[in-house]
Amino acid sequence: MNKISPFHLAIPVDNLSICRKFYGEVLQCEEGRSSSHWVDFNFFGHQLVIHQRPVTDEVPKKVYNPVDGHSIPVPHFGVVLDWDVWHEFKTMISGKNIKFIIEPYIRFKGQAGEQATMFFLDPEGNALEFKAFKNIESLFAK
């Protein structure tokens, strides 16, 4: 597998201070640079930036796709963790009042691409997925 470069993802939020606390304290992501309108986080080695959304009456459309018997929110973002790190992360967030969209479980059990996964929302309703593969070589399995 090739060395993976960090991605950069910028997401809009209505309440910068609540989201700053969520990503910094709840998910324990290290904070980087910031201004009064945005905050950088080290999101498992990737750059996540929360940006203050301008005030608007626009309501984003919610879309879901069926996968393995669950309704998966689209769009969503997250990270693929090492198997043991995923389990440690699951334990770490278990006492932090996370309301799961999809509780942690093993998806595609016994099939190519078997993975541990969980989905939950940040305070702004952005869907996050954290997953891990027992065999990372199956990340792109067909």
Domains 8-52 and 69-138 alike in fold: yes
Question: Which homologous superfamily does the CATH classification assign to the domain defined by 8-52?
Answer: 2,3-Dihydroxybiphenyl 1,2-Dioxygenase, domain 1 (3.10.180.10)
Task: List the pLDDT tens digit at each of the 142 positions of the chain.
Answer: 567 788 999 999 999 999 999 999 999 999 999 999 999 999 999 999 999 988 876 777 788 888 888 888 888 999 999 999 999 999 999 888 899 999 999 988 888 788 999 999 999 999 999 999 988 877 777 6
Do residues 50 and 40 make contact, with C-beta atoms less than 8 angstroms apart? no
- pTM of the complete model: 0.86
> Taking Cα atoms as reference points, which of 79, 93, 18 lies closest to residue 50?
18
Domain 69-138 has CATH 3.10.290.10: no
DSSP conformational letter for 61? P
CA atoms within 13 A on the CB side of 80: 15
